[in-house]
Amino acid sequence: MDIDQIRTFLGVVANGSFLEAANRLHVTQSTVSTRIQRLESYLGVTLFVRNRSGAALTPPGHRFLRHAKSLLLTLEQARHDIGLPSRFRASITVGARIALWEGLLPRWVGTLRKQAPDISIRSEIGFEEDLMRALVEGRMDVGMMYTPQHSPGLQIEHLFDETLVLLTTDPDKPWPNEDYIYVDWGAAFYAQHSMSYPNLERPPQVVNIGWLGVQLILSNGGSCFLSMRMAEPLIQAKKLFHVPGSPQFKLPAYMVFPRDSDSMVLQQVLDSLRSLAVIEQQKAVIA
């Protein structure tokens, strides 16, 4: 048994199929099959049942899942810790959507560095799929996102609610218009948006992150939904304006982390994020 076999096993679990795991791991499907076969031979059990819908864990596969995560996490932590300078007692990897890194999490990292200067922090940006996969595979300790997926061994905890508002560069221009950019904030936003604008045709521009939407409207003019946290400095600078009569939508932000971890460092990081969430919720109430 080697680390590639463990990564491949977790990749199949996370993606539900050998083919999708191969695509995500950038190897051939036959390589995935060979690694799983060798792992099954080593363990003496069948880990997956393959069918038309993909690959499902067998009862022994479910039992091995917890051990696989622990093994990979131990190996990853060993690799990081061995290379850590002596002034650090531990390392931690934190990932989040780019919108959450906009202003919010950089300040939090600065606060954590002051509270625990002996912790080495690796910061990453990703979409939910990438963040969840890294958490499942044990390559990430904490992930922050808007639409997490439930996975065995991972805990999902609500942090705070973002407020999404419709903003424009030209408050005198009637809305809707051809300059509107739809930002894909996820399924919950889509449902609220569709309910509020049932007759709105598909906008000519669609983007997958708020940061890109605001760059486009600042450069070319237009409107889009942004989080108040991202937009507030631009509103104060009179670069963006509220669209009169437009609704506000709530977008919950969550953190995801290993359910059964006994790491004191991880608990310190989680408590720090919870304190951040309290501050953000208080700001939202005041606003």
Residue by residue, pLDDT tens for the chain (287 residues) are 788 899 899 999 988 889 988 988 889 999 999 999 999 999 999 999 988 778 999 999 999 988 888 788 777 766 666 666 678 778 889 999 998 998 789 989 999 999 889 888 989 999 898 899 888 878 899 999 999 988 888 999 999 999 999 999 999 999 999 999 999 998 889 999 999 999 998 899 999 999 999 999 999 999 999 999 889 999 999 999 999 999 999 999 999 998 877 788 889 999 999 988 888 777 655 55
Q: Check for a shared fold between 3-78 and 89-287.
A: no
Compute the distance between CA of residue 142 and CA of residue 167 in angstroms, rounded to an integer: 31
What pLDDT score does 198 carry?
Answer: 93
8 Å CB contact between 257 and 154: yes
What pLDDT score does 47 carry?
Answer: 94
Query: Which three-class secondary structure string do you get for the chain?
Result: CCHHHHHHHHHHHHHCCHHHHHHHHCCCHHHHHHHHHHHHHHHCCCCEEEECCEEEECHHHHHHHHHHHHHHHHHHHHHHHHCCCCCCCEEEEEEECHHHHCCHHHHHHHHHHHHCCCEEEEEEECCHHHHHHHHHCCCCCEEEECCCCCCCCEEEEEEEEEEEEEEECCCCCCCCCCCEEEECCCHHHHHHHHHHCCCCCCCCEEECCHHHHHHHHHHHCCEEEEEHHHHHHHHHCCCCEECCCCCEEEEEEEEEEECCCCCHHHHHHHHHHHHHHHHHHHHHHHC
What pLDDT score does 82 carry?
Answer: 67
Q: Tokens in use for 286?
A: 């005041």
Domain made up of 89-287: CATH architecture: 3-Layer(aba) Sandwich (3.40)
Compute the distance between CA of residue 124 and CA of residue 239 in angstroms, rounded to an integer: 29
- What Rg do the C-alpha atoms of the chain give, in angstroms? 22
Single-letter amino acid code for the residue at 282: Q
8 Å CB contact between 253 and 160: yes
pTM of the model: 0.68
Does CATH number 1.10.10.10 belong to domain 3-78? yes
Q: Which of 213, 214, 193, 197 minimizes the C-alpha distance to 205? A: 213
What pLDDT score does 14 carry?
Answer: 87
Compute the distance between CA of residue 182 and CA of residue 224 in angstroms, rounded to an integer: 6
What pLDDT score does 175 carry?
Answer: 93
8 Å CB contact between 111 and 127: no
Domain range summary for the chain, segments of one domain joined by +: 3-78, 89-287
Handedness of CA 25, 135, 68, 263 (dihedral sign): positive
